[in-house]
Structure 1
Amino acid sequence: MALSTLKKKRRIQVIALAAVALVISTALIGYAMRDGINFFRSPSQVAEEPPSPDEVFRIGGLVEEGSLIRGSGETIAFRVTDGGASVDVVYTGVLPDLFEENQGMVGTGRFIDGRFEATEILAKHDETYMPKEVVDALKEQGVYQESAPGS
């Protein structure tokens, strides 16, 4: 009788230990990924509901024509639009080779004092690529036009 009680206690201890280990590992994974998950927002979403300055997120759309201003050094300012709203963006660093006006881009950073301060800028990598989130936001605003194959 004492042997079966000891086995039950041991089994309960093992299950409890496994549950604690699972909770701890889940917490550690969540803590490690807290900065790795960036939500996407279109310029219209940012204009309607500006995120807090401490939130890191991605913004995407088209670089507005006539808005690209190259400052001193590597600082660049421009506006990104989805056809419904425009957001001022400032970035310090080297832009991708394919970055230009009227082209798709995605930036990662924070919205501080009414402008998006980017820490990373990505541009489309060929004539037909644009991130799905950007295409969806542009289609929602009625701005997106499919490019003809081979153009």
Structure 2
Amino acid sequence: MPVITAVLGDITTQDVDAVVNAANTGMRGGGGVDGAIHRAGGPAVLRDCIARFPDGLATGEAGWTTAGEMPARWVIHTVGPNFAAGERDRALLVSCYRRALEVADELDARSVAFPLISAGVYAWPFDDAVAAAVDTIASSTTRVAEVRIVAFSPDAYDAVQRALAARRAR
């Protein structure tokens, strides 16, 4: 099990081997975390997305590209379920975390920074989004040593901290 920490900040500035992108199925950039990663990484991220994923990615799947100009070496893109659009199968959200960690293992990444997948514009119920992240990462068999769950707001950071403390108390 990796060491999991909550971080309040910007995922694009994390000095880790890989950052995880909450992408859309088209893999061509977008809003939220996806837009921030594409802006921070520069055009190399989009070029790699087009080359590696000409048909995009399915919900729950993951794949990697360069991180371009970010401190990380790779971006692991995963497509979360869009709760607001009716994609409500929690197994798809759990799959995002599992598949991203499997890709990290394929890359021999030792440190990975995750956002809270589907918790933004895709409107997954927030407390369950946090629980899915913490429980899936904590129960994984990954070789990744350090996982950061990067929260953009103080409220999200506090929620991740509470979930991690509750997990440790079990």
TM-score (norm 2): 0.27
> Which has the larger strand fraction?
1
> Which has the larger helix fraction?
2
Higher relative contact order, chain-length normalized (CA < 8 Å, sep 6+):
2
TM-score (norm 1): 0.29
